[in-house]
Structure 1
Amino acid sequence: MKIDSSAKPLSLLQQIQQEQTDSLRHLASGKRVESAHDDAAAMQIIERLTAESQAYQRSLGNAYDGISMLGVAEGGLANIQDDVNRIRELTVQAGNGALTDADREALQQEAAQLTENIYQTVDRTEFAGVPLLSQNDSRTFQLGNTGDTSLSIELRDMRQQGLDSLSTLDLTDPNATSSLMDSLDSMNDMLNTQRAEYGAQQNAFEASARNLTQTDIATQASRSRMQDLDYAMGTARNIQNQILQNSAVAMSAQANAQTELALSILS
């Protein structure tokens, strides 16, 4: 005759051992939810928050690239404006009636060199291989988790904006001083307007970067509260399982002893 009084304790022991294994796994990873098996509903939310956080982080990189692009473009325009101001100064100097033709020719040569510098700046100002001052283009930067959160940079060919007129600049004609100064003043106004536009766009990108940083921090904090393990509670649960496991082992041993005693009496 066979008496199986250890089945229930063994079943309890197996359950406790499985819980202990899960507890140790969570403690080792530091996560309360590692898979859908742990918490299916929470896992869905965690994955969604993870995707959002990754989008915010990548968008933050996009924002800083936009800031850098605008900084390079604005820096190129600042160099151009310095040269334009120097040409204007030479134009005023060329209006001096005491100058000889040779003097004006020397001024013209310097103005021509400055014009060449300006055109080189236009052609060479670029960011990551993208020309910034020599073409009309629009560059869009994704700055969020949805498709409608973006900012665009409008690039313009500065030659077409008025710099091409520098190629006909002639300081050797004393009667052209007034018209040249008007043209250079208009050119300066255009450069000021373009620099102001790029400066405003930089501010917009910086504001977006700050907002993305704050949003990402909040998103990661929310995900952490849902996914990460509370070590104090995890450690307490592990100790509790160890006590239960020891108790179950003792119960199983006692059940086996009672079974053997019953069999010896019956026999």
Structure 2
Amino acid sequence: IEDKAGNMYKVDTGSSVTASSGVVAAYTSGSAAAMALSKAAYATDAANGLTSTANPLTAIDAALKKVDDLRGTLGAVQNRFDSTISNLGTTINNLTSSRSRIEDADYATEVSNMSRAQILQQAGTSVLAQANQTTQGVLSLLR
């Protein structure tokens, strides 16, 4: 992790925080948390261009704040992904429903067209039967 001043920190979630200047803060959990610093004093390492702070707790606090900031950012991204997934699920349901309504409308239209064709066919057969009866009636009168 790098803070705003450019200092690098390595945070090990198991047991330690290491600053770029070589300071290690180790802790143990329990009723009495103990903190031991591997170096008592900080100095500027001119050869590597690393600077350290005069207060090791400030470095640790800065590293923990950075971790908190990163966790907050990660949480926000995760919430956006969850929201996007939820919105996509709703969109899929809406599209499926719309498609179903369109297909149902086409089915209803086709059934209506088939019923119309059947009625026209029956009417045509009925008219033809009446026309045949009329000619047979005329022929029977002529006999």
- Give TM-score, length-normalised by structure 1: 0.31
More helix by share: 1
Rg larger in structure: 2
More strand by share: 2
